[in-house]
Amino acid sequence: MEMDQLVALCKRRGFLFQSSEIYGGLQGFWDYGPMGVELKRNVREAWWRDMVTAHNELQPPPGAPSPYEMVGLDCAIIMHPQVWKCSGHYDLFHDLMVDCRESKRRYRYDQIQGRWVEAKGQTIFVTGEAQGPEAIADLQHKALRFFNLRSKEADELQWHGPVASLTTLESAPMPAPGEGKAAAAGGPGKVYDFSRVLGPDAKTLGTLTAPREFNLMFKTIVGALGGEEDAAFLRPETAQGIFVNFKNVLDSTRVRVPFGVAQLGKSFRNEITPRNFTFRSREFEQMEIEFFCHPGQSRAWYQYWRDRRYRWYTDLGLAGQRLRLRDHTPEELSHYSCGTADIEYAFPFLAAGDFGELEGVAHRGDFDLRSHMEGKLVRQGDALVVEQDAQGKPKYRGSGKDLSYFDDLTKDRYLPHVIEPSAGADRATLAFLCEAYCEDEQPDESGKPTKRVFLRLHPRLAPIKAAVFPLVKKDGMPEVAKEIYAALKPHFNAFYDEKGAVGRRYRRQDEVGTPFCITVDGQTLSDGTVTIRDRDTLRQWRVKKEDCPAEIRGRLGI
């Protein structure tokens, strides 16, 4: 499947629109249309139900070290600015960006891809932002333009080494003509000499600046009279709301460690280069769990959550070659993390063999609770200590509140460790859409084989669970169909359609992933049965019209 086909379907059938499209759109922001809103709600509801409300705290689920409790929270998007200072986001939540002096465009440093190319006695590093299969063609196009060559002269370009990130030049000395291969292999010494780099949108060499840090948090001012000292931030993650409410949850419920707190809601990141449809947006939704456990059991809980969360995606239809669970290497781990695994999906906009993160499952130790007790922490050798300013005082003071847990059965007091499964609702929705997109050939009304596009969505996720059609708009069929529709509506989202040829009505429902279509036909009027058609197999069978709600509910498992 090409990404363009899915993007076109999403617009055509009301899944996703560019935000403020009539004004030219706003990069990194997306609106969910009538179908998309149902799909994303179903993703969120599946997560909330499977993780929180359907969780039985009396029995350990398969693989869990013990039974555990789950509760939820819904915190404010804007929190006290000290939260972000102690969590580390204020100082550390940044990406490196480079600017182009010629095009005035800004890029995320690690997302510029390029390749050494030699022609007419000159070697340059030609760059672009395209990923995947288009990257090679994009770089060739730019190299031809730079060297003033025509497409048919492409063999005059001598390519050296593979496509590589601009970051690989940091340690690579610039090659002289003919030395491209050696340079592409990398060399010693970190340099930011971009004098032979052709920026992604530049016509001349050496227009990219050295990388600079850019904090990703959106800043805002609270209150009518507010100045800089009143600056607050839109949360870049939902997690911190859970940590700062740890004590409130303990004091207001009867939960005991181990327990998890789930939160689902909007997060905001001022991404330098939002891209790949909703994959990297500036406003998105997260589904996060902070799971508090005894330090001695935290490794076992980490293993449990890593596997449990992977299974959630496979249960809902992501499977096979395109989904993987990848453990971080020690170099990738954050300074506080004792272990992290990413659940990744091979999105179609990525190069073959590449995967994009759907969810991270991290063992965070006691870093977060300690930070909000004592102040911002930094690593010193093997220990985490409170960071100090020039006067030897804590750089950012914590709340000073005691966030330890007292186990009244064992009389043990300790700071719980945290396992954090952190997922993105928009990324999960996008992955479910990518996985669901299918094409096959089916006979149309006249029997001619024609292309059919359908979304093989898991029935729990499908925006519409069943559509009801009268075969024709006469002979009392619409009346019977409307009765069935009314009987289905209290149970799930159903759709009534009497317009146009029935074949076309089926196709429209296939395109939005409706698993079942119910048709009232001539036989219904004589024996009271209707046909039910399965979206994926196209199998049709008859049931009594009054049995439709039970039949569909049984098949949906609701």
Residue 433 lies near ligand GAP (rule: CB under 6 A):
no
Q: Are 117 and 126 in contact (CB under 8 A)?
A: yes
Residue 387 lies near ligand GAP (rule: CB under 6 A):
no
Tokens linked to 357? 């993160």
Instruction: DSSP for 340-353, please give it.
Output: EEEEEE--TTSPTT
d(CA 399, CA 183) in angstroms, rounded, equals: 51
Q: Are 395 and 277 in contact (CB under 8 A)?
A: no
Residue 521 lies near ligand GAP (rule: CB under 6 A):
no
Q: Are 8 and 16 in contact (CB under 8 A)?
A: no
- Residue with structure tokens 């870093």? 367
Classified as helix, coil or strand, 77 is coil
Residue 519 lies near ligand GAP (rule: CB under 6 A):
no
- Name residues contacting ligand GAP, limited to 309-348 (CB under 6 A): none
SS3 labels along 532-545: EEECCCCCEEEEEH
Q: Which long-range contacts (CB under 8 A, 24 or more apart) does 58-65 make?
A: 61/308, 63/303, 63/304, 63/307, 63/308, 64/301, 64/304, 64/308, 65/258, 65/297, 65/300, 65/301, 65/304
Exposure pattern of 81-119 as b/e (b: 16+ CB <10 Å)?
A: bbbbbbbbbbbebebebbbbeeeebebbbebbbbbbbbb
Least distance to ligand GAP, CB of residue 373, Å: 19
Residue 424 lies near ligand GAP (rule: CB under 6 A):
yes
Stretch of 181-189, 202-210, 415-423, 538-546 contacting ligand GAP, by CB under 6 A: 415-423
- Name residues contacting ligand GAP, limited to 283-312 (CB under 6 A): 284, 286, 288
**Which of 118, 237 has the CB closer to ligand GAP?**
237
**Which of 42, 263 has the CB closer to ligand GAP?**
263
Site map 172..211 versus ligand GAP, x via CB under 6 A = ----------------------------------------
**Which of 95, 138 has the CB closer to ligand GAP?**
95
CA-CA-CA-CA dihedral for 201, 202, 208, 214, to nearest 10: -20
d(CA 270, CA 117) in angstroms, rounded, equals: 34
Stretch of 177-185, 423-431, 494-502, 519-527 contacting ligand GAP, by CB under 6 A: 423-431
CA-nearest of 65, 71, 44, 56 to 307 is: 65
User: What are the E-state strand segments in 283-416?
Assistant: 283-293, 323-327, 339-345, 356-365, 377-380, 383-386, 405-407, 412-414
Residue 372 lies near ligand GAP (rule: CB under 6 A):
no
Stretch of 160-168, 221-229, 352-360, 497-505 contacting ligand GAP, by CB under 6 A: 352-360
Residue 426 lies near ligand GAP (rule: CB under 6 A):
yes
Residue from the set 142, 280, 306, 460 that interacts with ligand GAP by CB under 6 A: 280
Residue 110 lies near ligand GAP (rule: CB under 6 A):
no
**Which of 370, 427 has the CB closer to ligand GAP?**
427
**Local structure of residue 416 (DSSP, 8 states):** P
**Which of 159, 336 has the CB closer to ligand GAP?**
336
Stretch of 190-198, 246-254, 417-425, 532-540 contacting ligand GAP, by CB under 6 A: 417-425
What residues contact 435, with CB distance under 8 A and at least 6 apart?
317, 318, 322, 345, 456
Residue from the set 370, 417, 427, 460 that interacts with ligand GAP by CB under 6 A: 427
Residue from the set 172, 289, 358, 418 that interacts with ligand GAP by CB under 6 A: 358
d(CA 195, CA 201) in angstroms, rounded, equals: 15
CA distances for 535 relative to 40, 196, 464, angstroms:
20, 55, 12
Tokens linked to 68? 């555990």
Least distance to ligand GAP, CB of residue 436, Å: 18
d(CA 219, CA 117) in angstroms, rounded, equals: 42
Q: Are 238 and 265 in contact (CB under 8 A)?
A: yes
Residue 84 lies near ligand GAP (rule: CB under 6 A):
no
Least distance to ligand GAP, CB of residue 199, Å: 24
**Which of 211, 424 has the CB closer to ligand GAP?**
424
Residue 545 lies near ligand GAP (rule: CB under 6 A):
no
Q: Are 517 and 534 in contact (CB under 8 A)?
A: no
Least distance to ligand GAP, CB of residue 45, Å: 17
- Name residues contacting ligand GAP, limited to 229-268 (CB under 6 A): 237, 239
Residue 30 lies near ligand GAP (rule: CB under 6 A):
no
Under rule CB under 6 A, how many of the chain's residues touch ligand GAP?
A: 19
**Which of 138, 420 has the CB closer to ligand GAP?**
420
What residues contact 74, with CB distance under 8 A and at least 6 apart?
263, 264, 265
**Which of 294, 309 has the CB closer to ligand GAP?**
309
Residue 111 lies near ligand GAP (rule: CB under 6 A):
no
Classified as helix, coil or strand, 477 is helix
Residue 357 lies near ligand GAP (rule: CB under 6 A):
yes
**Which of 196, 275 has the CB closer to ligand GAP?**
275
Residue from the set 87, 298, 422, 524 that interacts with ligand GAP by CB under 6 A: 422
**Which of 422, 524 has the CB closer to ligand GAP?**
422
Rule CB under 6 A: which residues touch ligand GAP?
237, 239, 269, 271, 280-281, 284, 286, 288, 357-360, 420, 422-424, 426-427
